[in-house]
């Protein structure tokens, strides 16, 4: 592997082999998502706990201070919106690799929609992106997307989508967690896997359980957005999840980190 690629990957995946990415790219098809109306303000207090942040070029240029010292994962696919839900799988490439280099991105990310009408188009888009990224030593992260079909997220589907992403040349695969058979997803995918959270759930312990179990089964970390920044105590969530990923905390220990940070925030 070339030096540039290795260098960028080492900024994303930490020395312990783990990673905590915080995405704030949701507006690229959802518009002003709840608690992400002002993405720069949402992410600012969370930056100390993130190993990298994922976002589009528009939010990067307009909402993030260029002196930021966090690696940027630039989302380069899109072109669809929630206003046409049935066509969410029809994404194309919306940002060039040249622009990613101009913005000093550490990696780029693109969605693939396995099993949807847009499967062929998005897989070819991703393969072309990998070809270009490899020329410049930029890791391409595949996002195994399901659009509005959240029920698709079982081990069989996630293993299929993740393996295909790896076969096409992804350096990192972002997929979802599933309670049953997640180890099959990891075992069948020869590149590092991070998990997304999906829509916010009610209990923080549920999130800690997912993250902990995913790590036990071989994921290297998370690319977790709404279950951190839509929570009433986002910093407490980020710190607790960081403890699971980088300090091997159990869900119970993570809950303690959460409660302590929440108390400090409330009393401060
Ligand atoms: C979709 O909006 C993006 O790819 C997100 O970055 C991804 O789904 C992870 O965010 P969340 O944990 O909110 O699902």
Predicted local confidence at residue 241, as pLDDT: 98
Distance of alpha carbon 34 from alpha carbon 32, whole angstroms: 7
174 is catalytic: yes
Closest residue CA from atom 6 of ligand 1: 23
Per DSSP, what are the bridge partners of residue 108? Answer: 74, 140
Segment holding 55, helix H or strand E: strand 52-55
Task: Indicate whether 178 belongs to any domain.
Answer: yes
> To test the ligand 1 pocket, which listed residue (22, 24, 25) has its Cβ within 8 A of the most ligand atoms?
25
Task: Indicate whether 135 belongs to any domain.
Answer: yes
Predicted local confidence at residue 268, as pLDDT: 59
Distance of alpha carbon 233 from alpha carbon 27, whole angstroms: 21
Predicted local confidence at residue 195, as pLDDT: 97
Task: Indicate whether 267 belongs to any domain.
Answer: no
Task: Indicate whether 185 belongs to any domain.
Answer: yes
Query: What is the domain extent for residue 65?
Result: 3-230
Task: Indicate whether 141 belongs to any domain.
Answer: yes
Q: Could you please report the per-residue DSSP string of 171-230?
A: SEEEEE--SSSHHHHHHT-SS-EEEE--SPPS-HHHHHHHHHHHHHTT--EEE--HHHHT
CATH classification at residue 62: 3.20.20.70
Task: Indicate whether 264 belongs to any domain.
Answer: no
Predicted local confidence at residue 152, as pLDDT: 80
Residue with tokens 């108390």: 263
Atom of ligand 1 lying closest to residue 24 CA: 6
Task: Give me the tens of pLDDT residue by residue for the chain, a chain 268 residues long.
Answer: 799 999 999 999 999 999 999 999 999 999 999 999 999 999 999 999 999 999 999 999 999 999 999 999 999 999 999 999 999 999 999 999 999 999 999 999 999 999 999 999 999 999 999 999 999 999 999 999 987 777 788 999 999 999 999 999 999 999 999 999 999 999 999 999 999 988 899 999 999 999 999 999 999 999 999 999 999 999 999 999 999 999 999 999 999 999 999 999 887 5
- Annotated active-site residue in 70, 174, 239, 262: 174
Task: Indicate whether 247 belongs to any domain.
Answer: no
Predicted local confidence at residue 146, as pLDDT: 86
| Number of domains into which the chain is organized | 1
Atom of ligand 1 lying closest to residue 109 CA: 4
**Cβ 191 vs Cβ 161: under 8 Å:** no
Task: Indicate whether 75 belongs to any domain.
Answer: yes
């Amino acid at each position: 592997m070339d030096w540039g690629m290795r260098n960028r990957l080492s900024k994303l995946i930490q020395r312990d082999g783990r990673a905590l990415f915080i995405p704030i790219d949701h507006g690229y098809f959802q518009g002003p998502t709840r608690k992400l109306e002002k993405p720069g303000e949402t992410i600012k207090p969370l930056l100390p706990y993130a190993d990298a942040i994922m976002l589009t070029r528009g939010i990067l240029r307009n909402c993030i201070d260029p002196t930021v010292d966090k690696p940027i994962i630039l989302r380069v696919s899109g072109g669809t919106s929630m206003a046409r839900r049935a066509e969410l799988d029809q994404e194309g490439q919306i940002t060039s690799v040249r622009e990613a280099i101009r913005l000093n991105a550490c990696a780029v990310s693109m969605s693939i929609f396995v099993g949807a009408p847009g499967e062929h188009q998005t897989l070819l888009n991703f393969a072309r992106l990998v070809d270009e990224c490899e020329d410049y030593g930029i890791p391409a992260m595949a996002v195994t997307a399901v659009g509005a079909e959240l029920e698709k997220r079982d081990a069989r589907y996630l293993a299929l989508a993740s393996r295909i992403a790896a076969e096409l040349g992804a350096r990192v695969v972002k997929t979802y967690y599933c309670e049953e058979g997640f180890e099959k997803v990891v075992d069948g995918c020869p590149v590092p896997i991070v998990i997304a959270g999906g829509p916010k759930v009610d209990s923080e312990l549920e999130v800690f359980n997912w993250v902990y179990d995913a790590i036990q089964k071989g994921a290297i970390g998370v690319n977790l957005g709404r279950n951190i920044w839509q929570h009433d105590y986002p910093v407490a969530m980020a710190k607790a999840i960081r403890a699971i990923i980088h300090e091997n905390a159990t869900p119970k220990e993570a809950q303690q980190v959460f409660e302590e940070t929440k108390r400090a925030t409330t009393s401060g």
